[in-house]
């Protein structure tokens, strides 16, 4: 069995050495691993909002970036704490997370949703899950909860499920965790 090596960041081979194909040292988390992240997020339900970043603690207090970081660590997918302002730059620099083109690749459970100043965890609750129902109807269609998030002190709403489309009107980016090491065939 290969020895697992803890790397601070993943690497992508230069395309000139891989016949133009991207060869990634690492692999994306699976849908099942993403559901593990969602299950840990579920255990944060009810945590009061507190703007404390890396000091976030389940059932005590936390914000969006701190709770997301702690959830990933508890699920076994660690990364050093990043504020929402630093997250995209961290992802680009370290490749610990890869930006996903949501127009080409479907979101999967456990993906990080990133807005300016906010982040959440994608959680596509299945039919029959009581967390799915928002009670909100938009343009005649019932809106389903599909993410976990910390809110803000103005809303006075604890950590919990919410709907992406009704949360904010601006665009968001999607990031998926990359596990290292990965493909042994990379040059």
pTM: 0.83
> Mean pLDDT score of the chain, rounded to an integer?
85
Percentage of the residues of the chain whose pLDDT score is greater than 70: 83
Is the model's pLDDT at 47 over the cut of 60? Answer: yes
Which CATH architecture is the domain 25-179 placed in? Alpha-Beta Complex (3.90)
Q: What is the pLDDT of residues 72-120, one digit of tens each?
A: 999 999 999 999 999 999 999 998 999 999 999 999 999 999 999 999 9
Q: From 163, 168, 169, 164, select the one nearest 135 (Cα to Cα).
A: 163
Q: How confident is the model at residue 6 (pLDDT cuts 50, 70, 90)?
A: very low
Q: How confident is the model at residue 141 (pLDDT cuts 50, 70, 90)?
A: confident
pLDDT (average), residues 27-41: 96
Q: How confident is the model at residue 25 (pLDDT cuts 50, 70, 90)?
A: low
């Amino acid at each position: 069995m290969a020895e697992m090596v803890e790397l601070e960041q993943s690497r992508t081979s230069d395309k000139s050495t891989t016949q133009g194909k991207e060869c990634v040292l690492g692999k994306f988390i699976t849908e099942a691993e993403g559901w593990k992240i969602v299950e840990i997020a579920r255990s944060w339900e009810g945590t009061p909002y507190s703007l404390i970043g890396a000091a976030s603690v389940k059932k005590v207090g936390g914000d969006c970036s701190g709770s997301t970081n702690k959830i990933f660590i508890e699920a076994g997918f660690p990364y050093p704490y990043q504020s929402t302002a630093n997250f995209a730059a961290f992802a680009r620099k370290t490749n610990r997370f890869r930006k996903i083109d949501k127009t080409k690749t479907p979101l999967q459970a456990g993906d990080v949703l990133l807005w300016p100043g906010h982040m959440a965890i994608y959680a596509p609750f299945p039919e029959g899950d009581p967390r799915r129902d928002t009670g909100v109807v938009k343009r005649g269609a019932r809106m389903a909860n599909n993410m976990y998030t910390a809110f803000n002190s103005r809303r006075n709403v604890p950590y919990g499920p919410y709907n992406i489309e009704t949360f904010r009107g601006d665009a968001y980016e999607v990031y998926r965790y990359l596990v290292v090491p990965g493909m042994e065939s990379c040059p």
